[in-house]
Amino acid sequence: MMRAAIRRAFTLFELLVVISIIILLAAIIVPAFGRIIESANYTGSVNTVTGALGQARALAIQNGRNTGVAFFFNLDTEVASLQVVELHGQQSGTIGYNGSTPAMVFRPATGTVPIELPKGTVVYGMSFAVAPYGERYDGTNIGEWYAGEMIDPDGSLDVGAGGTPMITDDEIVPWLFPRNDPRVFIDPDFDDACEAPNGAAALQHCVTFMVQFDPSGAIVTCTESGGECLIDAYLEYPDDPIDPNSADDEPLDDQFLFDPEVAVDENLKSCFPNEVILRSASMIAVVQTARLAEGVGVRRPWTVWSEDGVPIANNQRTVRDNEKLEDIWDWIDLNGELLSFDRYTGDVIRRR
């Protein structure tokens, strides 16, 4: 009679060895896989931004009007987005605290929608039409647009011939982050954070940047109106239709006047204006936030502001630190995907 075959099972030691090998391999593979996904998202974001710039330039040439790409950031989701915008007519609007500074009106380009970038990627912009807080540049009070985001070590803006302010080697030109959410400028303990009294003032600070092309396809840093080169502009989203039979509805706001309103949800989780101040950037940088945060030691780099920027009462969402801000700008210079533009053709020039 044949003896039944005896099957030898794994010992506890052997099982532990196999499990240890699996854990070790997972520890090696998972982070590498995560980096692959992160890299793919970043590459996709750069291509998305570049494609949107190409679309805006093509529309500018096709339609014969200035067209650009404006950039935004959602504080809640920490997701960046962009919108192709075009000049809405040739009338100049007004912008600023007293409504006295001319500005051009942009609206979302026909047939375009906002495009969200993968989380973990943001866009910074650089504009030379920025100066220390309270100073004047190119005849415009820059206190109404990224006020104080330029760091001026000696505390005063240099003046050239004819009293024109000028940027010299001691001024540090900033990389600008989209500041399009009113809550950045508001005391978070205020119950009605998006409403008056301080909500209305905060709306005046809702600013961001765009890359703008003229009808020839060339990059521009201002918008011509009546022979005058205006550096200020604003984006106005079309207002929702009103009910003509309702006495409660306010008339549509002036399409050529900067008079922002906010959309607020019942829990104040969303608080975004229907109009945002724009100015043209001469260069942009696409940045991986995780790498930037690791490089400079700040979890949310967009919360770091200049020590001399617009005063924000009791706002815990921002950190005033010039040294850390310089670290962020230096890191972007060295590690961001920098996109500049041919002065005459508007073609994108990539530098990594």
The C-alpha atoms of residue 123 and residue 208 are separated, in whole angstroms, by: 11
DSSP 238-279: PPPP--TT-SSPPPPPPTTS----EEE-TTSS-EEESEEEEE
The C-alpha atoms of residue 43 and residue 47 are separated, in whole angstroms, by: 6
- The predicted-structure confidence for 193-221, as pLDDT tens digits, reads as follows 555 445 555 666 788 999 999 999 998 88
- The predicted-structure confidence for 309-337, as pLDDT tens digits, reads as follows 665 544 556 788 889 999 999 999 999 99
Query: Band of the pLDDT at 249, cuts 50, 70, 90?
Result: very low
The 3-state DSSP class for residue 220 equals strand
More confident residue, 272 or 274: 274
Residue 251 pLDDT more than 50? no
**Average pLDDT of the chain to the nearest whole number:** 75
Which pLDDT value is given to residue 272?
66
Residue 151's nearest CA partner among 300, 285, 307 is 307
Query: CB under 8 Å to 12, separation ≥6 — which residues?
Result: none
- The predicted-structure confidence for 127-148, as pLDDT tens digits, reads as follows 877 766 555 544 445 445 776 7
